[in-house]
Structure formats: structure tokens, C-alpha cells
Structure 1
Amino acid sequence: MIKNCMILLAFVFISQSLTAQKNITVEDIYRGEFRTQGLQSLASLNNGTEYLILNYNRDRTQTIDKYSYKTGEKTETLVNSSDLGITIRDYILSDDESQMMIISESNQIFRRSSYDKVHILDLKTKKITLLSDDLVRSPSFSPDGTKVAYVFENNLYYKDLASGAVIQATNDGVNNALINGVTDWVYEEEFAFVKAYEWSPNSEQIAFISFDESEVPEFSMDVYGNELYQKPYVFKYPKAGEKNAVVALHQFTLSTGARQEVALGRNEEFYIARINYSPNGKLAAQVLNRHQDVLDFYYIDANGKASIAFTEKDTAYVDVTDDLTFLEDGSFLWTSEKDNWRHIYLYDANGKEKRQITKGNWDVTSYYGYDKKSKRIYYQSTEDGSINRGVYSISLKAKKKKKLSSQTGTNSASFSKNFTYY
């Protein structure tokens, strides 16, 4: 009996060895035979119990499928590319989840930017329409879902989805001279964002940044594509010490078609690193000096009046993050390194610090969000040591901290909309 078991084990071992020694072909690599598994374009749904995934299928179709957080099982195929007659490269849901933007074609520009062909799909009627005949940049639904804004040829537009009317919000955009609504190369690379406009919560205004590149030196390089000869590509590229684009903040009012520049009252060179609207309609702008060691947090009202709520300074530099979270009363959560460690702070609606939420000789390495129902904050930190990452939650009052990850090592999480699953 023992001898038979030994022979069986030897056979299994030899079979596994032969399998492991299988020749790897180029076709295997490009077919995705060895691709690591992941969740493509995950979007948590408003119900907090389900999520969407973009799947690439063996029959060369793409499907946007709905899954249950509780079971991990697929519950429904929401969209199938074969039904639409287009390729699905990515998608964006409207806030009420009744509509979906589907990107069917995408031409890369720089690291984070692209020209996209965009379709609007009504998820109830299954009617699909083309947003524009042109390839556009950084499209986004208005909060009420009635319009879509985008940038084309350095100008900001929006489309009324009910009437189909397209309104051009700016008309001074010029290639390699002036950009409206999307960032230049410097901002995309150094501040890691492309869409330089935001809808107001009531969908009545669009705030946007303009980039005057007229004085920025040009850089030229040859691009080798599928043609016999290369083509020259020229773009604005400021090397160290050269002039950057001159930025300005604007507000466009949809009802009147009026555009006004926000007077920030600054004479020196500066960056507008982020813009965000609060629930009460005030626009917040994070403005840095060129040395990036002073950050001014501005509030701008609907009439364009700006004031500095607070200022952060550092002897080295102030790090810009996307961790700003407004609460319903206008107060907000914010991460800062002002005590030499990156921690979470609570500010009131006027920009005055109310409370330091996390404390200690460790860093908050990722801020995951705030659950307004339980009034808890979710984050990742180095509390288990500088080489480790743990997932935690803590109350808005900086109490009842809980460790959610169970093992020491590198832990990260993606939470459902209502923070009941991760």
C-alpha cells in the first residue's frame, strides 16, 4: 500500500514538473495567459451591497457586470458590448445611476490624459447616443444628471442631454497658447490631475482653471508611429527655472452664459493645485506658491468673492492630496503633515481647526473616506511599523479606533458606498 502511494506521488510530481516546464509563447503572453487577476473599473453602487466590474470575455466582447458584496457572485449583466455594437474601454455612472458614459475609443496624450470617444447610455431605455462626433477630454455628468461637460480643442463645453443642445462655455482656447478646463503637462505630471473643472452641487455653475502657456518655452520631439517617416510633436514644456503657465480661476454660470475670473489677489507666481465644491455651494481652492512650501485654502462664493480660510506652511514643501471631504454642515476632513506626521484633522465650515482625529508617531498613508451614518472615518496607516500598512476606522470624535485588517504586513482596502463591505 505504501509502495503504491509512493508511485502515485511520484507520478503526480512528474506530471506537475512537465506542466511547469511548458514552453511560454509570445501568443500566451499577449492572450493574457499569465495576467494577474484583478477587478477592472470597479464601481460601488449606491445601495452599498453591489458593485460593477468591466469584464473582457473570451469571445472578444466586454460586459459591465453587477456583483454582490456578500457572496462575490455575479447577479446581473448590466451592459454587453455586442448589444451596443461598440467596444467598451471604460465607463462612468451618473450620480443617480440612471445613465452611463461609455468610452469606446481612447487615444493617449500623456500619462493620465487622453482623447476619448464617448457615448451616453440610458440604463432604463437602453438608448445610446454619441456625446460628440469629436474625440473629447475629461467628460463628466452634472450632479443632476441632465448635462455632460467636456473639453474640446482647449475649450470647455457642455451638452444638454434632453435637448441635445451643445453650449460652448469658452472660446479663447488655442493649442500651445491657452487651455481651459484641463491641465497642462506640468500639472498633470506634478499634481497628478487632468480634469481642471468642477460642477457646482446645484448644477448651475462650472468652476474651471485656465492655463496661459503663451510664454512657456516649447519642446520638440519626433514621434515614430506606423508611417514610413516620423512626425515632429511640439508642446509647451518648462524646464527647471523657466516660465510656467499663468493660471487663473473662473466661474461660468449656465443660466446667463456669463464667465467671470476669480480675483485671488496674488502678485507672485502660483499654482492652483485643487478645486472642490462644498455642499453649501462654496468653491474651495488649494493655492500653492511656486516653492510649494506655503498653501492657502481659499473659499469663493457664487459671486466670485474669494477669501483665505487658513494657511499651511512647511520648511520643505506642503504635500497636496485628494483627502478633502466635506460634511453636510460644510465642515470638512483634511490630511496634513503639520505635526511632522501625516494625520487626519476636522475643520469647521469657516476653515478653523476643530480637532485632530489621528495622533502618533506614524503616518496615515491612505484616506478611504467618511461614513456619515456611523460617523466613522476609514484609513490606512503605519501604526504597525513603517514597513507595514494596516486598515483602521475611528469615530469623528477621535475615539473608538478599530483595526480592521487581521494580519501584519501590507493591507489595503476598497470600501462599498455605505462602508458596510470592503
Structure 2
Amino acid sequence: MNRIRMFSVLMAIPLTFAATLANAQSLEGGSTPLTVERLYDSPALAGSSPRELKISPDGSRATFLVGRKDNQHFYDLWQMDVTSGKVSLLLDADKLAQGELSDEEKARRERQRIFGEGIMEYAWSDDGKALLIPAAGKLYYYALADGKAKLLPTGDDFITDAKLSPKGHFVSYVQGQNLWVLDLATDKVTQLTHDGGGAIKNAMAEFVAQEEMGKMSGYWWAPDESAIAFNRVDETPVELVTRNEIYADGIKLTQQRYPYAGKPNVLIQLGVISLQSKQVKWIDLGKETDIYQPRAKWLPDSKHLSFQWQSRNQQNLDLRVVNVSDNSAPVTLVHEHDDIWLNLNDDLNFLKNGYFIWTSERDGFSHIYLFDSKGKVKQQLTQGAWAVDSIDHVDEAAQWIYFTGRKDSDVEKHLYKVKFDGSGFTKLSSAAGMHSAVFADNKAIYLDYFDSLAQPPQISLHDASGKRLAWVEENAVKQGHPLYPYAGLWQLPAFGTIKADDGQTMHYRLFKPVNFDASKKYPVLVRVYGGPHAQLVTNSWSSQDYFTQYLLQQGFAVFQLDNRGSGHRGTKFEQVIYKQLGVAEVEDQKKGVDFLRTLPWVDSQRIAVYGHSYGGYMALMCLFKAPDYFKAAVSGAPVTDWTLYDTHYTERYLSHPATNAEGYRLSSVMPYVKNYQSGLLMYHGMADDNVLFENSTRVYKALQDDGKLFEVMTYPGSKHSMRGNQVKTHLYKTITDFLERKLQ
């Protein structure tokens, strides 16, 4: 069959962006070639790219963290006066303590994917007159009136997860696996829990909650400051693993309670402690103890606490509410069920009249629903074959809901608003690309964090109608911008679609090499992730694309396809992978290669695949299961046997090993190692506590036992994210050398 007829290669992006790509294959600027050393050196190629955007409670100023020009990973706190538009330094991080982080904080930052020094977090007081800033395990209270950062008396032990109370009278934090509160008026410190230590953790989220549920905290203040809800986590049932973290100067034996798929999880409790009596009321979570409790949120009256209850198989999710002022049992407001799995979200908003707003995928796509106080659906506010990303702001007075979603394009994210009654649906963002919004609490303004393939992140201030009021950081790529000397060689991709075997549409993007000559044959690198929730094929700026740009200048083409199972496409698209991983995903990537083979300028004998984490797993599965499609593979930090990965993630997609043993076996890389022929590079951080190093060593041993030759690069001290300029520089040099030897 003629391969060209097998594909529907259609543009699936807004016409404005399509026109841009048609008219320019690169950005305007100089033609200095990139070097690997320059990719992640300072100043950052993206220019000034602030993070941790906030608007003060009174709406008078926008604040954000900015990396320094001489060290993009060292952050200071900056501000913009909303009225004048003036941008200035608010707090120099050198005025705060700097030093080694505790192991707990290092692990927490790894889960948050936060990397850097200086000021990494901060919080506004409710009155907008002060900021709370943690630094090196200490806490600082910065009063705007006197411009001084006061060190709070929290003792010598390292603190983590610090918060200002809702009305700004207290500071809470976790220290020694217990919850503490400091009264800002008196500097009096009170320890609220006392049994933390060892396997007991108070006010802390367990490992899988941080890594897989996006739950980074284990406690929540009541709006009136009368009480704090908190989790008590007992890790005793979880298998205690002794593993080696290998560093350049020695080996650290680390004991970690790692909940392998199919093995016991933590025992979790939810309590409410009164600040006045110091007494704890334990919430009844039900008779079943093998559960997850992924979210908690107070209602506006401070008398009712909501919490989410999730079954271990993740097919049932309850939103429950309990009156903490009496002994009544929790009431289930919403029960969600799916025969495959349910995704979590943070889109719960309680209104003063008792109604609440909640997103659900019950119709196959994430959409917004309005419920009454009894949990009955009053109205579905958004609908269609597209997904809502997140609810960003609820203006109860004006009855507007502001949210980001994919209504206009699967490969872009835009800001919209809709009324509580479903009317007035309006698109607020205009520029083609990815938009995220941060709203003021008490003023009709927001910050728009925008980026695209052609525009590094920029931040602007807007009114509630979407009108831009001012630039916070325009970040235009012009003379003087760090990217400008290289921008003339910066390539923009072509977008298109391919049909999967079941008829569903998959998006791809294809980058041609610099100085492309249609009469030549080029090698292609397929960059893949392929796992749930992620999406590579977007009109977005990403530092991960810097290496892509470098490869384009070395004569490679780069192709990316979001196979079935990836995110933001609805449950039908995502749930294809249920109970057996690496089947639909590999077939879809083969479809992508079939498409590449129809292009006259692609050398079909020189196609390689590269991915990290789930992408590393995919690289191995593609090479082992489809060696006639891929000449070589680079696999970074791969999961190779899903019994080695954690409960919440793995069982969501593969179910429990006891009920799906064959699915686990066939989803592992190990049965396919025998198919390996040649052309493999594997790398792994030797202190990875997420995808354990054993995942790679099992493949090493299997290939060695078969007498197969392959290449390995290990990184002492590196965690899963492979942080640091030196590590990245060496890694990408290693990958480039490998690809040039295997494909050129």
C-alpha cells in the first residue's frame, strides 16, 4: 500500500501560528552556532524568565523571582508597582542565610522539580504588608514598611513547608516531622504535634503523594485561624529499602521506605487540631485503610472541612465534607467512578452560598461543573471534545470563572472565562502559544505568563477583560537579549497529525536541520516521552528544546509525536494504555516512523530514538520491540520493570500486580531484551530515589549475560532530574557523540 495514503497529515494549529511558520523557519537574530556548553550556561538563553509569580493581596504590586545574569539558578525577589509599572529589586537573597539543605528539603524540592539557590519560595501576608521567606532551613519575616528581613526564632533544626496563617497572625512549619506554630505578635513558638519521628510524619505528605499526586503539603489552615487540619502518616507498613546513593567522593547508604507496586502503602490519618485547646479531632476516613487521601480544603465558614478519598485502585474518588465542630460523620458530596482510572485535579472552589465548583472527566474530557450544597449538579459550565487544564480564579461577586484550556487547539493553552450559569464564554488570551494566569485576590487583574516556540517566556499585566495593562517582562528577542546572537539559526517546526490504528488523531512536530537541502538525506532523532499526563507536541518554549536546536545545527532532523496515552486529550485517548504499557505507545511511534519514511529527504536507515524517564522506557521498548524501525536508542533513567516503581503511579495504569501479573510482565522491558541487536546508550543518575538505579542495572546484566554490546554513562550524585550545568553539558556531549557515531 502507498504509505502516503495511510496518513492524514493535517495542520492542527491556529491559522495565525501556521502562517508564522510558513513565513519564517527561524527567528530573527544573529547566526552564531550553538555549543553544548552554551545551552545551559548563564545568562539563560531564554533571557529573564521570572518564576513564582504572585500579586499582593491588595493588588498594588506583582512579585516574582528572577535568576541572576551571572548565575541563572540563583534567585532574588523582584516587584512591579501595578500603578506606575516600575520594576525594582525587592529583596536581595544575599541578605538571607544560604547553606546546605536538609535531606528532607532536598527530596521535597526534587518532587517539586525546583532547582536553584537564593530565594526559592515566598508568601504574602493577608494584609499585603509583609512576606514570609524560607531560606536554608530558616524563616524570615520581611515587613515592607521597614524593608528588613527579620529572622524568626524557629530554633536550630531545619524547617520545611512554612506557611503564613490566613489572617497573618501566625507562621506554621514542619520541624522534626512535627507541626509547629509561631505567634508573630509575641514570637512564642508552640509545638502542636509530638509523636513525629522515625516512621511517623505529622503535617507531611507521603512520598507518593508528593511524587504522583501533586500534594506537596500535609496541613491546611482554617480560614479564621482557629484550627489546622493535618495528615498523620505512618510509614511502618512500607518496605524499608537500603539503597546506595553513589557520589563522587563516596557511597551513602540511604534507607528509604519505597512503596513498590503491589506492596503496602502508608497508613494515613486526617486530624484537626484546635489552636486554643491543642486537642486533635480525628476524622473518620472509613473502615478501609488501604486508601489515598490526596486533597483537603476548608469551607469558607471554618466549621466544615472537605477532603478527597480515593480507593487504592483509583477507580473511585469521593469528595467528602465533615463538620469539625461536632461529632457528625463525613458526608459524601460527590462520588466519581471510572472503570479504568480517575485523574486528580486541584479545581475545587467553595462558594459562600454553599454551592461549589468542581472539574470532572465524567463525559470523557475535563470540564467545569457547578454543584449545589448537597452535591447535585446544577449545570455543566463547559463542554465539548476538548479539555480544561485548570481553574485559575473564581470571582464570586461578578460570578465569573477564569480557567485555562484547549478549546482552540490541542497544542496550545489559552485563558477563558465563563459565568456561573454557563453564559458569557469568552477567550481572553490572544497570542498563539501557552498561557498561564495568576490572579489578584481582591482586584480584577491578572498576570499572564506566556511562551511559544518563537517567544521565550514573557509576563504581562492584564485587566479582567484580557486587555494588557503593562509588561512585567516583555523579554523580546532583540539586540542585547542572550538568545539574539543565536536566534537566526533557531528553527521552528512544522506541525501535523497522524491517525492511530483506532482512528484517533495524534499530533506531531518536525524540525528540519539548519540549512536544509531537500536533495540530501538526513538522519532523524525521535525525541519521545510517551507517558501519561505529559505532552511534548505543543507550541511552547522549553529549555529541553535547546538540545534539539543544537542537533539541528549538527545536521539532524528531530521528530516528536504524542502517542496515545499522553495528556490533555481526554480519557479515550489516555486510557488506551490500561493494563499493558509499551504496546499502543510503541505502535504509535512506529506510525510516526512510517510517516518519516514517506519524506524523500529522510534517511530511513538512520533513525534513532531518545527519551528520559518514561521516555527512557519508551526508547528501550522501541529499540527492543521494533529494531527494524530504530537503528539506535538513548535511554535515560528508564523504568524497566514496573514492579520496581511506586504504587500510586503504576497501579493507576497497570492495576494491582496480583490481578494483572501478565500485564506487568509484558509491560516490562525484560522480555524483549533478547531482541536487541546494537546501538544502545543508557544513562542514569546514581542517587536517583524516584526511578531507582536498579531499573538500569537489570538491563545491564541481561545484556551482559547475552553477550550484547552497549554503552553506559552514569552520573555520581545525580537524582532523577539530572540537574546542574556541568551534568547536562557532559550528558548532551555524550549523547551527541553517540548519535554521530551511530547515525552519521
**CA offset at residue 33 of structure 1?**
4.8
| 2:337 matches 1:334 | no
Aligned to 2:269, which of 217, 224, 248? 248
Q: Is 256-265 or 81-90 further displaced after alignment?
A: 81-90
Structural mapping, 1:117-196, within 5 Å: 117-125=138-146, 126=148, 128-132=150-154, 133-175=156-198, 177-196=199-218
Partner of 2:611: none
Does the C-alpha gap of structure 1 residues 57 and 388 become closer, same or farther in structure 2, counting only changes over 3 Å? Answer: closer
**CA offset at residue 271 of structure 1?**
0.8
How many residues align structurally? Answer: 392
Partner AA of 2:92 in structure 1: N
Alpha carbons 1:391, 1:405 under 8 Å: kept: yes
Aligned to 1:237, which of 258, 262, 275? 258
Alpha carbons 1:325, 1:369 under 8 Å: kept: no
Partner of 2:79: 66
Partner AA of 1:204 in structure 2: S
Does the C-alpha gap of structure 1 residues 123 and 267 become closer, same or farther in structure 2, counting only changes over 3 Å? Answer: same
Alpha carbons 1:391, 1:411 under 8 Å: kept: no
Partner AA of 2:43 in structure 1: G
**CA offset at residue 119 of structure 1?**
1.6
Partner of 1:13: none
SS across alignment from 2:238: coil
Q: Is 118-127 or 37-46 further displaced after alignment?
A: 118-127
Deviations 1:241-262 (A, max 9, x none): 1000011111101101111211
SS across alignment from 1:100: strand
Deviations 1:93-134 (A, max 9, x none): 1222222112222xxxxxxxxxx3322222223351235232
SS across alignment from 1:186: helix
| 2:104 matches 1:79 | no
| 2:128 matches 1:97 | yes
Deviations 1:208-241 (A, max 9, x none): 1111111110122222346x32110111111111
Does the C-alpha gap of structure 1 residues 313 and 145 become closer, same or farther in structure 2, counting only changes over 3 Å? Answer: same
Alpha carbons 2:346, 2:390 under 8 Å: kept: no
SS across alignment from 2:122: strand
Structural mapping, 1:199-238, within 5 Å: 199-225=221-247, 228-238=249-259
Partner of 1:12: none
**CA offset at residue 268 of structure 1?**
4.8
**CA offset at residue 54 of structure 1?**
2.3
Alpha carbons 2:42, 2:70 under 8 Å: kept: no
- Aligned equivalents of 1:104 and 1:134: distance in 2? 13
**CA offset at residue 47 of structure 1?**
3.5
Partner of 1:264: 285
Bigger share in helix: 2
- Aligned equivalents of 2:168 and 2:84: distance in 1? 31
| 2:389 matches 1:358 | no
Partner of 2:344: 320
Partner of 2:50: 39
**CA offset at residue 36 of structure 1?**
4.2
Deviations 1:373-422 (A, max 9, x none): 32111122222243343321111110011122335x53313143134344
SS across alignment from 1:188: helix
Partner of 2:554: none
Partner of 2:314: 292
Runs of 4+ that moved beyond 4 A = 22-29, 57-63, 68-72, 82-87
- Aligned equivalents of 1:119 and 1:191: distance in 2? 29
Partner AA of 1:395 in structure 2: K
Aligned to 1:54, which of 62, 65, 72? 65
Q: Is 146-155 or 49-58 further displaced after alignment?
A: 49-58
SS across alignment from 1:96: coil
Does the C-alpha gap of structure 1 residues 33 and 56 become closer, same or farther in structure 2, counting only changes over 3 Å? Answer: closer
Q: Is 345-354 or 284-293 further displaced after alignment?
A: 345-354
**CA offset at residue 322 of structure 1?**
0.6
- Aligned equivalents of 1:406 and 1:88: distance in 2? 32
Structural mapping, 1:394-409, within 5 Å: 394-407=418-431, 409=432
CA RMSD of aligned residues (A): 2.6
> 5+ unaligned residues in a row in structure 1: which ranges?
1-15, 106-115
Does the C-alpha gap of structure 1 residues 293 and 94 become closer, same or farther in structure 2, counting only changes over 3 Å? Answer: same
Does the C-alpha gap of structure 1 residues 70 and 395 become closer, same or farther in structure 2, counting only changes over 3 Å? Answer: farther
Q: Is 121-130 or 276-285 further displaced after alignment?
A: 121-130
Does the C-alpha gap of structure 1 residues 21 and 391 become closer, same or farther in structure 2, counting only changes over 3 Å? Answer: closer
Partner AA of 1:39 in structure 2: P
Deviations 1:129-170 (A, max 9, x none): 235232111111111211111111211111112222211111
Q: Is 191-200 or 303-312 further displaced after alignment?
A: 303-312
Does the C-alpha gap of structure 1 residues 144 and 218 become closer, same or farther in structure 2, counting only changes over 3 Å? Answer: same
Does the C-alpha gap of structure 1 residues 83 and 295 become closer, same or farther in structure 2, counting only changes over 3 Å? Answer: closer
Partner of 1:372: 396
Aligned to 2:368, which of 337, 344, 353? 344
SS across alignment from 1:292: coil
- Aligned equivalents of 2:179 and 2:189: distance in 1? 11
Alpha carbons 1:48, 1:416 under 8 Å: kept: no
Partner AA of 1:99 in structure 2: A
SS across alignment from 2:145: coil
> 5+ unaligned residues in a row in structure 2: which ranges?
1-27, 99-117, 449-744
- Aligned equivalents of 2:70 and 2:444: distance in 1? 35
Does the C-alpha gap of structure 1 residues 272 and 166 become closer, same or farther in structure 2, counting only changes over 3 Å? Answer: same
Alpha carbons 1:119, 1:131 under 8 Å: kept: no
Q: Is 272-281 or 341-350 further displaced after alignment?
A: 341-350
TM-score, length of structure 2 as denominator length: 0.49
TM-score, length of structure 1 as denominator length: 0.85
Alpha carbons 2:270, 2:282 under 8 Å: kept: yes
- Aligned equivalents of 1:221 and 1:263: distance in 2? 36
Q: Is 411-420 or 286-295 further displaced after alignment?
A: 411-420
Alpha carbons 1:275, 1:285 under 8 Å: kept: yes
Alpha carbons 2:48, 2:67 under 8 Å: kept: no
Does the C-alpha gap of structure 1 residues 362 and 63 become closer, same or farther in structure 2, counting only changes over 3 Å? Answer: closer
Alpha carbons 2:166, 2:223 under 8 Å: kept: yes
Aligned to 1:420, which of 442, 445, 456? 445
Partner AA of 1:254 in structure 2: L
- Aligned equivalents of 1:390 and 1:83: distance in 2? 38
Partner AA of 1:349 in structure 2: S
Does the C-alpha gap of structure 1 residues 195 and 33 become closer, same or farther in structure 2, counting only changes over 3 Å? Answer: closer
Alpha carbons 2:152, 2:187 under 8 Å: kept: no
Q: Is 234-243 or 357-366 further displaced after alignment?
A: 357-366
- Aligned equivalents of 2:368 and 2:123: distance in 1? 29
Partner of 1:110: none
